[in-house]
Amino acid sequence: MRTKDLVATAISNTFRSKLRTTLTVLAIFVGAFTLTLTNAVGAGVSQYVDAQVGALGSPDVFIITQANDATAAGDGPVKYDAGSSASVSSQQGPPGTTTKALTDTDLTKIGDTAGIVSVDPIRAVQPDYIEYGTGSQYEFSINATSAVTTADLTAGAQLDGSASEAQLVLPDTFVTPLGFASADDAVGASVSIGITDILGEQHTVNATVVGVSLESLLAAGAGANDALIAELADAQSGGIETAVTSYGVAVAHFDTALSADSVTALKADLATAGYTASTIEDQLGAVQTVINGIVGVLNAFAVIALIAAAFGIINTLLMSVQERTREIGLMKAMGMSGGKVYTLFSLEAIVIGFLGSAIGAGVAIGLGSALSAVLSKGLLSGLPGLNILLFEPTSVAFVILLVMLIAFLSGTLPAQRAARQNPIESLRYE
Amino acid sequence: MDSEWVIDAQGLEKSYGSGASRFDALKGVSVQIAPGETVAIVGKSGSGKSTLMHLLALLDEPDQGTLQVAGHDAKSLSKRAVNELRNKEFGFVFQQFFLTPNVSVLDNVILPLKIAGMGSKERRRRGMEVLEQLELADKAGNKATTLSGGQKQRVVIGRALVNAPRVIFADEPTGNLDTATGAVVEDILFELNRSQGITLVIVTHDEDLAARCDRQIYIRDGLVVSQTTSTHTGSTHTGAHAQATPEALTTAGGAA
């Protein structure tokens, strides 16, 4: 029997007992549907987290703070040291937490550590408002680490760190209020940023919008390049140099050629020197682990459903073999080999598996896409850029192939039984 | 070549089961079947006639004895060769029709060609040819379940015939049919023998059907009790049948 004929016969046999096939397909459908959806949730959340990591910083960056020893209980008060004892308010820990500040001496020390390419303090600037042309003024904030991050852009380009021109990446929520027709319209426009110096005098700084970004969960505010930050910082200081320059956080670039082990070693070196260095991955690792855990549990449920469906396939095919005993006997009497009979029944199992998984995956994609669209406008509108269900062609194909494999394995027992039948016994069977 | 295509069985023995339930179906049977012959294997149920046919058709293997087909020892043939032999050289007609329901008449008829791996166009052409020969061409697209008994048995003959076999093995081919349709089916089988030289091996307990064959092998309790040769020629078949009809009616009725 030709392969083509075997496949065609298997398909037509599958539809001979429509109700039974439908019920078995339904069982597989449930498993494939669930597995496709859970995979999509995993992929959607992972993609979102990746985008957030991009928004937070490049992979070759450490966020460095002083090791926080101020809270260590039982050591008694720490002696004051004019060179290092300045504190700054910190975003880490509960509100009001302070960390010991980094001074210029610290920065030099960090910069000298082997493996660190460059180190830059993060200078926090607090602009008052943003304005385009003669339109309304809006409250406005700048993400201090934006110079080293990759924004999740909807239009325009990333910031150019080496440009001397003051550049700005605008959050997309500002586009319409500022009077731009669209995100693309905003790119290239010149906006003015108002800032008050420490003496209470207000200054205006002009910047060019180079890109429009989606608002990020982890890094709020607009992006500004080094040139704009420097300009704003100068305006903010009002020309007065504070006695001790201190920064809460510094950003250090390390050699991109370093292996993961070397990065860990480098972190240890910095820890010995009294600094806490963490990469963006470290900060988001915990989040991703939790999400992977949840997706793993959901996948396990889907696989359990598939195993239950596998027994359905075994049952269906065993009944089919029983019903078609004489037909099998006849085909064997007419010279069909046991191997071909085996292939025929295995193919029937695979056809059932394919039907269930293809329909399951198809419905999951249809329903999931609709649900995802509704959610991103409603419940999840606070997380722009989050596609809670992301259907990747490879993972959908993987689910379908996996189900077909399970179906094939389930078909093994009935197919073997069919292949082993003795033609004479089968023809006598009443 | 054709004259060498003999089925030669020597001392066939076959038993089923073991111990107390052991049943010796054949206890040393020797028969030869020459090409173009029509042979009836006659006996009561349980006499071993079906078992003999199964062995001759290579559907089963004897416990003892040798079987040569066209000069080849059946034991020396590979499984694949046996399958191919049954597929290409043999046709089967069983008492029960064994038609696949919900599949068209044509698809039922071309099943052996499908198993042989013939292309779909060629097997369709061949299938239609056979159906035309059996005057069933107009039913080609019908489901097998919609046919009458006689039509079904003709489809079965079509299926046995489609691969242009050398030998057709028929196990009680008219057992399930009324006398009139049974006679039509018999006529078709003997016509095939006459016009195409197909060897017929018919297992039956119907004396009239047996009498139409060239040779009768009587089997009782697993042994050949007698062999007779009919003297009639092919041309007298129809006449003999016409005369036999009233008798056949009573015999068939009695058997049923």
The pLDDT tens digits for A120-141 are 777 778 888 888 888 888 888 8
Probe site for chain A from B92, B108, B115 (most A CB atoms < 10 A): B115
Average pLDDT on A214-231 reads: 76
Contact across the interface for A331 and B84, Cβ inside 8 Å: no
CA distance A220 to A47: 19
Query: Looking at the predicted structure, is the pLDDT value of residue A147 above 50?
Result: yes
CA distance A149 to A54: 6
For chain A, give the mean pLDDT: 81
What is the percent of chain A where pLDDT is above 70? 84
CA distance A312 to A317: 9
Average pLDDT on B9-20 reads: 86
Instruction: Name chain A contacts of B86, Cβ cutoff 8 Å.
Output: 333-335
Q: What is the pLDDT of residues B78-119, one digit of tens each?
A: 888 999 989 999 999 887 888 888 889 999 999 999 999 888
Helix (H) or strand (E) holding B151: helix B149-161
Contact across the interface for B103 and A9, Cβ inside 8 Å: no
Q: Residue B235 is which amino acid? A: S
What is the percent of chain A where pLDDT is above 90? 15
| Those residues with Cβ within 8 angstroms of residue A34's Cβ, 6 or more apart along the chain or in another chain | A298, A301, A302, A305, A364
- Range ranked top by mean pLDDT from A49-58, A277-286, A381-390, B209-218: B209-218
Q: pLDDT value at position B235?
A: 39
Probe site for chain B from A19, A334, A337 (most B CB atoms < 10 A): A334
Query: Looking at the predicted structure, is the pLDDT value of residue A320 above 60?
Result: yes
Q: Residue A386 is which amino acid? A: L
| CA-derived radius of gyration, chain B | 18
Q: Count CA atoms closer than 13 A to B56's CA, side-chain side.
A: 34
Confidence of residue B238 (pLDDT cuts 50, 70, 90): very low
Of residues A16, A329, A335, nearest to B115 (C-beta): A335
A&B contacts, CB < 8 Å: 55
Probe site for chain B from A330, A424, A425, A429 (most B CB atoms < 10 A): A330
**Residue A336 C-alpha, separation from nearest chain B C-alpha, in angstroms:** 6
A59 vs A312 pLDDT, higher one? A312
SS3 A200: coil
A183 vs A59 pLDDT, higher one? A183
Lowest-confidence pick of A3-7, A87-91, A300-304, B57-61: A87-91
Can you name the CATH fold of B36-54+78-255? Rossmann fold (3.40.50)
Confidence of residue A94 (pLDDT cuts 50, 70, 90): low
Contact across the interface for A5 and B120, Cβ inside 8 Å: yes
Residue in chain B closest to A428 (alpha carbons) equals B96
The tokens describing B22, both together, are 């052991």
Average pLDDT on A116-120 reads: 79
Contact across the interface for A9 and B114, Cβ inside 8 Å: yes
Probe site for chain B from A427, A428, A429 (most B CB atoms < 10 A): A427
**Residue B36 C-alpha, separation from nearest chain A C-alpha, in angstroms:** 21
DSSP string, B13-52: EEEES-GGG-EEEEEEEEEEE-TT-EEEEE--TTSSHHHH
Helix (H) or strand (E) holding B116: helix B111-116
Residue in chain A closest to B90 (alpha carbons) equals A334
- Range ranked top by mean pLDDT from A118-127, A315-324, A421-430: A315-324
Q: pLDDT value at position A53?
A: 66
Instruction: Name chain A contacts of B103, Cβ cutoff 8 Å.
Output: 12
Q: pLDDT value at position A356?
A: 93
A5 vs A257 pLDDT, higher one? A5
Confidence of residue A72 (pLDDT cuts 50, 70, 90): very low
Q: Is A423 on the interface with B (CB under 8 A)?
A: yes
Q: pLDDT value at position A245?
A: 66
Q: What is the pLDDT of residues B188-214, one digit of tens each?
A: 899 889 988 899 999 988 888 899 999
Q: What is the pLDDT of residues A163-190, one digit of tens each?
A: 788 888 888 888 888 888 888 888 888 8
SS3 A223: strand
Instruction: Name chain B contacts of A2, Cβ cutoff 8 Å.
Output: 114, 117
The tokens describing B168, both together, are 């057709």
Residue ranges per structural domain of chain A: 3-53+286-428, 125-237
Q: pLDDT value at position A168?
A: 87
Q: Is A287 on the interface with B (CB under 8 A)?
A: no
Instruction: Name chain B contacts of A327, Cβ cutoff 8 Å.
Output: 98, 100
Q: pLDDT value at position A429?
A: 60
Residue in chain B closest to A326 (alpha carbons) equals B98
Read off the DSSP letter of residue A180.
-
Number of Cβ within 10 Å of residue A26's Cβ equals 15
Of residues B59, B103, B116, nearest to A333 (C-beta): B59
Q: What is the pLDDT of residues A236-282, one digit of tens each?
A: 877 676 545 677 778 787 777 777 788 888 888 888 888 888 776 67
Contact across the interface for A5 and B116, Cβ inside 8 Å: no
> What are the angstrom distances between the C-alpha of B130 and each of A309, B88, B106, B158, B181?
44, 16, 10, 6, 19
Instruction: Name chain B contacts of A334, Cβ cutoff 8 Å.
Output: 86-87, 92, 111-112, 115
CA distance A347 to A84: 75
Confidence of residue B159 (pLDDT cuts 50, 70, 90): very high
Query: Looking at the predicted structure, is the pLDDT value of residue A152 above 80?
Result: no
Q: pLDDT value at position A425?
A: 81
